[in-house]
Structure 1
Amino acid sequence: MARDTNSPTPLVSVITPTYNRPEYLQAALSSAVRQTYRNIEIIVCDNCSPQNPQAIVESFNDPRIRFSRNSSNMGMFANTFKAFQMAQGKYVACLLDDDMWEEDFLEKLIPPLESNSDLALAFCDHYIIDANGKIDDALTEEYSRTYKRVDLAEGIYQPFCRIALVDKSVSTATAAVIRRDAIEWNTIPADVGGSWDIYLNYLCCRSGLGAYFYPEKLTRYRVHEQTDTMLSGKRDAQAKIRKAQADLFCYEQFMADDRLSEFKPYFQQQWAHVNTTVGIGLMRGKQLKAARSYFWRSLKHSRKIRTMAGLMLSFTPPAIASRF
């Protein structure tokens, strides 16, 4: 890989883990190579896709791209963090294989980080696009409001625990650039699984450094049939359970951190909600005994009707309980 060691701008590592999305990967990489900020390396880690994407990567004929293909599927978390650990840049930014960046994404977010060493990351708002790449204006507005980015003024937030972990305004998987040395990448536990992005938020907050918000929409997050929130069916139900269990691990870490004590009631409520979600998922899979333990855990912090109904149904025959 060719690197511009004489560049006046710092190297940025673009992290692109991929699995079995050749058309989306093509679009994602196109948006990376078109960045007006030129001093980048693009790290593509393929998790043993049935269709090897090497030809797609090589079609760009761009020496800034580094390609690695696993000999077997090592799981989403391991593949993603393999890519992060390969990074050599001063900054890292994740470009998932089904998302895209505006051409000036890096050009807009790197300068605030360069001018202030007390920042762990810089982030922006983003568009929502459908499977065909079309911007969904209504859903874009809904996401911006739900995650309270419409209420944020441009500038520095320090500390930024509330906006990162409670409001979830910061999306390190979609629309952020991270100072690489703000995080000890080798110490991130595999338990964070599919919730690795919120855990990165936590680590950046824990560093004591701040965050810079740029209010423009500079990336495009794709919502499609393989997105976590769109999954359906038995196999995908298991994926949802794994994601929820990863969320539980993260909330348990947050609750145990005294530096986040003011937000502990919120984390407890979220922990309880996710326990109920796992319980319902297990019950639908007719694993009633396992489901019951999650309902009991949830009731320790929250006595919601949803949880109590789930617990009662877990004592009924599997054919009835699985319909909940």
Structure 2
Amino acid sequence: MLNNIELPEPLVSVVIPTYNRPEYLKQAIASAVNQRFKNIEIIVCDNCSDVNPQPIVEAFQDERIRFCRNSHNIGMVANIINGIIIARGKYVASLHDDDMWEPDFLAKLVPPLEANSDLALAFCDHYVIKADGQIDDKLTQECSETWKRANLAAGIHQPFYKIAIENMSVATANAAVIRKDVVDWKAFPLEVGGFYDLYINYLCSRSGLGAYYTPEKLTRYREHELTDTLTDNAQINIRKAKNHIFCYEQFMQDTRLQELHPHFQQRLIEANQYLGMSLLKAGQPELARPHFLYVWQNKKLSVRAIAALLLSFIYSLLSNTFIGVKGYVTAERKATSG
């Protein structure tokens, strides 16, 4: 008799961070509003966009939507985490303002979590779409293969830290539902930057809890000219490398993940080499040198990195020589003009 009683749906908080993407934002909100799973709150967190998107949000006339606008840009990660902190749901799900969900995204991912309290999250595969919303079949397949979801078995994986951290198969930024109390969101480190989703994977998996996976593509991830992952900017690349190093240094300190330490070490080597290269390109050889030396000390220095390390010394030598000559010439001019 009790088996026929339908329990009320748990509240799921959908957090949509947004910044200067009004047209895409409409589509993201619409995909959340149109979920078959109805017991949701939608928190739109605007990071001080140039044009206030509040009219876009209010146009939906849906009482489940809450709108928050920062008085100034607080950064992408803080904007997302703040939205999660104020969330009232048992579960939270992030949806970027340029992505979309299929109508049954929540309906497919929430039930496994309700059925098993040992699960930290549930996740799915996803499509890759172009700026105009059309599905890119080639990129979609490449994405599934790159992040090792193409052959990942459906169902429960416990523990799942290898899947989450090493393979990075879990796209918590747009394709996962997380049990909110698994993470201490108020202590979340902002130093992770754009790798906040990787760090969430770490926090959810480190305790040995499980994850549920469905190979169904229930999310549409959009790649376009404003996508952060496509940006090739020196200062942004430097920041990303520093964020990456912070993450893996934290992971290396976790004795529970000893099995993955060789992977973390390799990633640290790669990130330090990348940061060194980026700093060198930005004309900062002194700052680049310690990162090449780190790679050297770990005996993984490539021919390219060795050349870059030598270049950092040559660059400094030439710069100092130029400055010295310039100073001498200036002094001579002052002396002769007197």
Which bracket does the TM-score occupy, shorter chain normalised? Answer: over 0.9
CA shift for structure 1 position 7: 8.0
In the alignment, the residues of structure 1 paired with residue 228 and residue 280 of structure 2 have an alpha-carbon distance, to the nearest angstrom, of 20
1:282 has 2:305 as partner: no
Of the structure 1 ranges 138-147 and 220-229, higher mean CA displacement relative to structure 2 is found in: 220-229
Match of 2:293 among 283, 291, 296: 296
CA displacement at 1:28 relative to structure 2: 0.7
**Ranges in structure 1 where 5+ consecutive residues have no aligned partner:** 1-5
Shift of 1:157: 0.5
C-alpha change, 1:134 and 1:316, in structure 2 (3 Å) is farther
Shift of 1:128: 0.5
Does the alignment pair 1:317 with 2:315? yes
- For 2:246, the aligned partner's letter is F
Partner of 1:67: 67
Q: Within the alignment, does 1:50 sit opposite 2:44 as a pair?
A: no
Q: Indicate the percent of aligned positions where both proteins have the same amino acid.
A: 58
CA contact (8 A) 2:160 2:210 kept: yes
8 Å Cα contact 1:148/1:167 also seen in 2: yes
CA distance in 2, matches of 1:212, 1:306: 42
Q: Are 1:157 and 2:154 matched, yes or no? A: no
Question: Is contact 2:36-2:107 (8 Å) kept?
Answer: yes
Q: Which residue in the other structure is 1:147 paired with? A: 147
Look at both structures and tell me which one has the larger radius of gyration over its CA atoms. 2
Q: What does residue 333 of structure 2 align with?
A: none
Structure 1 counterpart of 2:328: none
Which whole-Å deviations, capped at 9, do the CAs of 1:89-138 have from their partners, x for residues lacking one? 00000001111101100000001000001000000000011111111100
What is residue 183 of structure 2 aligned with on the other side? 183
The match for 2:254 is 257
Unaligned runs of 5+ in 2: 1-5, 320-338
Q: Tell me the CA shift for residue 151 of structure 1.
A: 1.3
Q: Secondary structure at the match of 1:316?
A: helix
Partner of 2:192: 192
Match of 1:237 among 228, 234, 238: 234
2:304 corresponding residue in structure 1: 306
How big is the shift at 1:307? 2.1
Q: Which residue of 1 aligns with 2:37?
A: 37
Q: TM-score, normalised by structure 2?
A: 0.89
Q: Does 1:267 align with 2:267?
A: no
Equivalent residue, structure 1, for 2:3: none
After superposition, give the CA deviation of every residue in 1:275-324 in whole Å (9 maximum; x if it has no partner): 11111111111011111111112223322233222212222338x99xxx
Residues 52-107 of structure 1, C-alpha deviation per residue, up to 9 Å, x if partnerless? 11111111111111000011111112111111111100000000111110110000
Residue type at the aligned position of 2:81:
F
**Secondary structure, aligned partner of 1:127:** strand
**In the aligned structure 2, how far is the partner of 1:184 from the partner of 1:207?**
13
The AA in structure 1 aligned to 2:296 is L
Residues 272 and 292 in structure 2, CA contact (< 8 A), matched pair in contact too: yes
What number of residue pairs does the alignment pair up? 312
1:203 deviation in Å? Answer: 0.5
